[in-house]
Amino acid sequence: MSHYFITGASSGIGAALAEKCLAAGDSVTAVARRGDRLAELGAGHDRFHGAACDVTDAAALDASIAESMSKLGPVDCAILNAGMYVPQDTSAIDPSIYARHMDVNYMGVVNALPGLVESMLERRTGQIAIVSSVAGWRGLPRAAAYGPTKAALISLAESMTFDLAPRGIDIKVICPGFVDTESTAVNDYEMPGLISADRAADEILAGLKTDRFMIKFPRKFARSMNMLRWLPDRTFFRLVGARTGFPQK
C-alpha cells in the first residue's frame, strides 16, 4: 500500500487518480481549493486526507504536506497535477493572466517540492511526477500563457533528475494530449485525440510503474505532436496554422 499525494484533485485527472488509488487500497492525500469536492471524494475512505489548500500559497502547501505525512505516513508518490488554462489572444495581452498561469502551473509545483524532497531524501526513496503537457513541446495557438509554463515544467523535471535520481528519487514528467476536463471545456475548436480523465489516470498510473522519464499519451496524438518538434519553423507554422484555423502567409 502506497501513499499518493495528488494536487489539483477536486476534478478532472486529479480526481480520477485519487479515486483509482483509493479503489486499489492505497492512501491518498488530495489537495485542492474546493473543500466540498474533497469531502465527496474521500467519503467512506479511512486512508484519505483532504487538504483544502491553494498551491500558490507556499506556506499552506508545506503545512499540508507535513500534516498529510503525520496522518498517513511518508509520501511514496507525489503527482503534482494542479493547473489552469485560459486561452489567450496575443494581440491583446493582459500580463496578470500570464502571471497567474505561472503562479499556479509552475510555482504550484515548485511550492510542493521542499517538503516532499526533504522527506524522500531522508528515506532515499520516493517518486515525484510532474504533470506538464504536449503543449510544452512547441508553441500553439491560444496557448501563449499556458504553454510556456508547461515547457518550464519539463525543464524543471529534467534538471531535478540530475540531482535526485542518484539519491533514490524517481522523477517523471507527464505530457498528456487533450483530456476532457473543466479546463479543456472552454475550447471552441476540435480537439484531436480527446480522451477521458479516467483513461488519462490509467495511462499515468501505468506509466509510473515503468522506467520511462516521460509519460506521454494518447500514443497516436503524442507521436504526431512529437513530429512537429522537429519540423523546420516555416513548415511548422504553416501546417499547424492551417489545421487550427490560424493560416500563415
Candidates 98, 106, 146, 189; catalytic one? 146
Beta pairing partners, 56: none
Ramachandran region, residue 38 (left: φ > 0; alpha: ψ -120 to 50; beta: rest): alpha
User: Is 43 in contact with 62 (CB distance < 8 Å)?
Assistant: no
Helix (H) or strand (E) holding 128: strand 126-131
Catalytic residue status for 146: yes
User: Is 209 in contact with 22 (CB distance < 8 Å)?
Assistant: no
| Alpha carbons 125 and 130: distance in angstroms, whole number | 17
Per-residue cell: 183: 479546463
What are the catalytic residues? 146
